[in-house]
Amino acid sequence: MGRLFGTDGVRGVANADLTAEMALGLSVAAAHVLAEAGTFEGHRPKAVVGRDPRASGEFLEAAVVAGLASAGVDVLRVGVLPTPAVAYLTGALGADLGVMLSASHNAMPDNGIKFFARGGHKLADELEDRIEHVYDEHRRGEPWQRPTGSGVGRVRSYDEGFDQYVAHLIGVLPNRLDGLKIVLDEAHGAASRVSPEAFSRAGAEVITIGAAPDGLNINDGCGSTHMGQLKAAVVEHGAALGIAHDGDADRCLAVDHTGAEVDGDQILAVLALDMRERSALRSDTVVATVMSNLGFKLALEREGLKLVQTAVGDRYVLEEMKQHGYALGGEQSGHVIILDHATTGDGTLTGLMLAARVAATGTPLRELAAVMERLPQVLVNVPDVDRGKVGTSAELATAVAEAERELGGTGRVLLRPSGTEPLVRVMVEAADIEQARAVAGRLADAVKSALG
């Protein structure tokens, strides 16, 4: 069996790749593995289970709850809430396990299962591997040990989770949002109730779009992957800014009052300066991936801040932050982690903090985001090449060195082998878009020549 767990849990087309049987089996396996690891020792185990509004989440939630309860785990069903809310409640309620059913920014037919450990942190890789192994053993005929009588888990709804999470968000804001008109695009997703409630309680005048989930319309032409509607709405309503979430609201992108997009790099830059001002940016350091725009790095350097870069993926950002105690990190895609207040990317929290900076300074978001200039970026995919030889080809190393000499300190080159396809991604940033295109074209030819 190929590895089920990816960088963000188990994901696939619901009822095809991800079935009710799989959801139930993985949940039972998770309970057994955590019991073996001593997580449940000395007390009756408890899990928090939430989901986004996808239609398939209804039957998958039922399967997960049944699996956990059948393994002797008491379950609190928190209903439709964002992924970071489930992570927060897992910690706040002292649960041994959290489970979120969502495929994030993917289209509606997909769904996924993400497990959180005690405290609301991502499960360690070795525990995921063990869960997968135990699940596979059961599929091959190994019977489960099942409790009976009073040993079975009890299930109840926990509706208080909504208010508890919103109160947490409001409680960590450095200032109120009074006087700000904000448009929120909820992607017809998990934050459709939470985010407008939080922004309203914080004092903002809120206009919502994409906040009427029907189980089928999540991420459909709206949210952080389709920002046209939000840009138009911000300009139409004369709003100070707009905030866009994805389906499970662990991401946040923004729009300034002119309708221009503010990406994750710019949001990180604005929040970094804000947090330094409040002595909350530990070691004056921000963590981001190698895909962050060079303009972001140059902006931080100008401001006397340090940038630590990781491999692509929010899990690597989070690992670096936890290991060294950094307070702020994230990705260009808008997955921002404010570690003092969240154990994962939290789009609603990010949006609130960004709006709070606008309110506190009285400065338009457009001006705040101008702290960094996004350098033109060209990305070329080179197919049908041996991606495994990217790091060993002398011919390619020479071509990259020549490109870097040409760009000097005003540009950057990045070659990345795809993790899923036989192709290599060539990314070039330069102060001039034509130069970026020319260098990217030459490098793409070099990749074909060296690896084809």
Distance of CA 24 to the CA centre of its chain: 25
The C-alpha angle with vertex 108 and arms to 105 and 113, in degrees rounded to 5, equals 70
The C-alpha angle with vertex 59 and arms to 56 and 65, in degrees rounded to 5, equals 130
Q: β-pairing, 110-117 with 46-51? A: unpaired
Distance of CA 426 to the CA centre of its chain: 24
- Residue 292 among the catalytic residues: no
Contact between 29 and 70 (Cβ < 8 Å): no
Active-site position among 27, 56, 102, 104 = 104
List 209's β-bridge partners, or say none: 185
Annotated binding-site residue? 110: no
- One DSSP character per residue, 83-117 reads HHHHHHHHHHTT-SEEEEE--TTS-TTEEEEEEEE
Residue 221 C-beta-side C-alpha neighbours within 13 Å: 4
Q: At what angle do helices 394-407 and 433-451 cross, to 10 degrees?
A: 170
Annotated binding-site residue? 248: yes
- One DSSP character per residue, 248-289 reads TS---EEEETTS-EE-HHHHHHHHHHHHHHTT-SGGGEEEEE
How many angstroms separate the CA atoms of 289 and 57, rounded? 31
Annotated binding-site residue? 185: no
DSSP state of 6: B
How many angstroms separate the CA atoms of 294 and 307, rounded? 11
| Residues contributing to the annotated binding site | 104, 246, 248, 250
| Residues contributing to the annotated binding site for Mg(2+) | 104, 246, 248, 250
Active site residue ranges: 104
